Amino acid sequence: MSRFFPTIATLACLLVSPVQAGKHDAEFRRFLEADVKPAAQAAGVKEATLSRELQGLTPDTSLPGLVGPGGKGTPPKVNFQAEFRAPANYFKNSQFNALVPGGRRLMKKHARSLAAIEKRYGVPKRIILAIWARESGYGGAKIPHDAIRVLATRAFMGQRRDFFKDELIAALKILQNGDVSRKAMKSS
């Protein structure tokens, strides 16, 4: 390229100031060290897991609904999640009806697992399938974000900090147990 046409990376550097890009990084690291790590260790998460999963983690300040570090700030006026709007749109029969054939196939395919879950937790398999259908279209929805980063960010600067810290610790335990890989653990 000629010197008159900057690369996309050069343009990106000019558009995003370094102060904004990492504005909360140091405070986020302190939060992870002083708040998350001790709570996670008390819950049985090993240091090796914490080091591996939290190393280099930065907050994702592009997420909707954030109020600021420490949960201080004004809650957003608009929530884009469908379940926080008129329930009629969230529970449209036409949407559920389109998912029924796939649900029937999955009920047969996963009959043993669903029966075990129902027996252990008391949640009927049809409810499990309905939630799976509505939340992700049986795993077909594009879920773009790293779950650990989302949970850590919401625990740091979301409206329900304690809830998301507990969810983060639970996710770290799942990774520690090897139930799913970090790459496969996604969040919307």
Contact at 8 Å (CB) between 185 and 171?
Answer: yes
At 145 the three-state DSSP class reads strand
**CATH number 1.10.150 is the correct assignment for the domain at 24-77+143-187:** no
Q: What is the pLDDT of residues 51-88, one digit of tens each?
A: 999 999 999 988 888 888 887 777 666 555 665 566 66
Cα of 173 vs its chain's centroid, Å: 15
Comparison of pLDDT for 17 and 38, the residue scoring more: 38
Task: Quote helix, strand, coil % in the chain, to nearest 5.
Answer: 60, 0, 35
Domain boundaries for CATH 1.10.8 within the chain? 24-77+143-187
Q: Is 45's pLDDT higher than 90?
A: yes
First to last CA, the chain: 38
What's the rounded Cα separation, in Å, for the pair 42 and 47?
11
Label residue 147 by pLDDT band (50, 70, 90): very high
Q: Is the pTM of this model over 0.75?
A: no
